[in-house]
């Protein structure tokens, strides 16, 4: 049946071209009509046909002749005039859910009466191929919440272990222990936020993800890598928070100082969150108007890896912060120097942020 349908389409296409040629004495097929329609027909979607003409030839109208065939062999033909919006001629054709083939001709005559035509034959694009971009976006969302959640879980576990030991001896310190244990959870929240934004930006939550280009899917993976790997900074934060729990349980005045040292390793996670948001914003993901090329999307992966992996420096920062909390507990005057020691590890995360921004800037992503 499918073979017969294609034979019928070929015959109809030939007949359409012959009719156009007969319409003008000097009929010809020249590159006067420049079609800008993508060579992609997706069943169930709207196929937006766009064509531009050489205005010097006086072509004022274009006609759209088409034949569409479904899986059952049923076909539909049409002949309509295209809409002139001042810069191009357009026509929106609704493609059947079971469409397998589309053949059409765009034609128009110039001042001399000569006809100019453009012919196109398209086979339905498989839905799995059409959904590739959406599948990649799902991977990006999974990386964002998965890796960040893993880091947060380890960090919370480290701080919680210290808190459990403190509460066993001083039950009244339960509230203090919970506060410190909650600090490394924020990385998982950042990952969850980006995952939801990816799903919303690509239409996955709204059920309209069939038109997500592969380039947008790769950008989503870059976002997931940025916030996900940088979310492993929660491990360093958990190390610092565990020291803060112990110090605050012995000396209540250490509560605020312990919080300060524990918060420092979270900066790397914020850098990852920032890069992820920038990638989404400049790729048009927030408004589902994707304007990024395949090469740019590959660069987005580099930007995500740069800030994500550099964000692991927070583990070193947490180790230093833990020792600085202990030193400050013994000698309050050591806090300033302890902060300097702790901040040194963050320098490398700033390097990663700088490279990520440079990649986005010089590849046209921002």
Read off the CATH number of the domain in which 70 is found.
2.60.40.10
Tokens of 321: 């912060």
Distances (CA, A) of 62 to 45, 114, 306: 23, 13, 51
Last residue of a domain, one of 74, 96, 125: 125
Q: Both 183 and 294 in a single domain?
A: yes
Domain count, the chain: 2
pLDDT digits (tens, 9 = 90+) for 246-287: 999 889 899 999 999 999 999 999 999 999 999 999 888 887
For the chain, residues with pLDDT lower than 70 are 1-40, 55-56, 97, 124-130, 207-210
Structure tokens at 238: 């958990």
Residue among 196, 262, 275 at smallest CA distance from 229: 275
**30 and 111 part of one domain:** yes
Q: Could you tell me if 303 and 263 lie in one domain?
A: yes
CA dist 34 and 52 (Å) reads 5
| Domain termination residue (choose one: 125, 159, 192) | 125
How far apart (Å, rounded) are the C-alpha atoms in residues 22 and 58?
A: 20
Same domain, 265 and 318: yes
Res 28: pLDDT: 36
- 14-to-6, 81, 121, 153 alpha-carbon distances in Å: 12, 20, 12, 66
* pLDDT tens track for 153-169: 999 999 999 999 999 98
- Say what angle helices 214-230 and 267-282 make with each other, to 10 degrees: 170
Task: Identify any residues that bridge with 105 across adjacent strands, giving them in sequence order.
Answer: 65, 119
Hey, which residues does 117 pair with through a beta bridge?
Answer: 107
The answer on 271 and 190 residing in a single domain is yes
Range(s) of the domain holding residue 263: 131-362
CB 120 within 8 A of CB 41: no
Residue with token string 């059947």: 96
Domain CATH number, residue 253: 1.20.120.610
Q: Of 65, 95, 125, at which residue does a domain stop?
A: 125
Q: Say yes or no: 354 and 260 in one domain.
A: yes
- What digits encode the pLDDT tens for the residues 185-224? 999 999 999 999 999 888 888 766 657 788 888 999 999 9
Q: Are residues 219 and 144 in the same domain?
A: yes
Q: What is the rounded CA–CA span in Å between residue 261 and residue 13?
A: 74
Whether residues 101 and 56 share a domain: the answer is yes
250: which residues sit within 8 A by CB, 6+ positions away? 329
């Amino acid at each position: 049946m499918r073979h017969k349908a294609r034979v019928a389409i070929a015959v109809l296409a030939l007949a359409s071209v012959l009719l156009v040629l007969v319409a003008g004495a000097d009929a010809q097929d020249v590159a006067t009509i420049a079609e800008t329609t993508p060579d992609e027909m997706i069943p169930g979607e709207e196929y937006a046909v766009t064509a531009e003409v050489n205005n010097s030839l006086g072509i004022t109208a274009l006609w759209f002749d088409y034949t569409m065939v479904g899986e059952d062999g049923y076909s539909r033909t049409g002949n309509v005039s295209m809409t002139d919006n001042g810069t191009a001629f357009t026509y929106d054709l609704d493609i059947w859910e079971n469409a397998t083939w589309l053949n059409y001709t765009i034609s128009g005559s110039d001042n001399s009466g000569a006809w100019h035509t453009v012919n196109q034959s398209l086979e339905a694009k498989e839905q799995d191929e059409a959904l590739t971009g959406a599948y990649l976006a799902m991977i990006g969302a999974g990386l964002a919440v998965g890796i960040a959640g893993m880091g947060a879980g380890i960090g919370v576990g480290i701080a919680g272990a210290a808190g459990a030991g403190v509460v066993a001896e001083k039950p009244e310190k339960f509230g203090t222990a919970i506060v410190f244990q909650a600090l490394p959870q924020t990385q998982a929240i950042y990952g969850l936020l980006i995952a939801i934004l990816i799903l919303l930006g690509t239409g996955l939550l709204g059920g309209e993800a069939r038109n997500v280009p592969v380039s947008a899917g790769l950008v989503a993976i870059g976002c997931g890598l940025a916030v996900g790997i940088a979310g492993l900074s929660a491990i360093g934060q958990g190390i610092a928070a565990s020291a803060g729990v112990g110090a605050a349980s012995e000396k209540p005045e250490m509560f605020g100082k312990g919080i300060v040292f524990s918060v420092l390793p979270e900066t790397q996670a914020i850098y990852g969150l920032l890069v992820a948001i920038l990638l989404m914003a400049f790729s048009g993901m927030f408004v589902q108007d994707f304007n990024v090329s395949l090469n740019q999307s590959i660069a987005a992966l580099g930007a995500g890896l740069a800030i994500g992996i550099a964000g692991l420096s927070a583990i070193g920062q947490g180790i230093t912060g833990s020792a600085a909390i202990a030193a400050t507990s013994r000698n309050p005057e050591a806090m300033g120097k302890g902060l300097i020691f702790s901040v040194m590890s963050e320098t490398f995360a700033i390097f990663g942020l700088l490279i990520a921004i440079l990649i986005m800037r010089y590849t046209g992503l921002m």
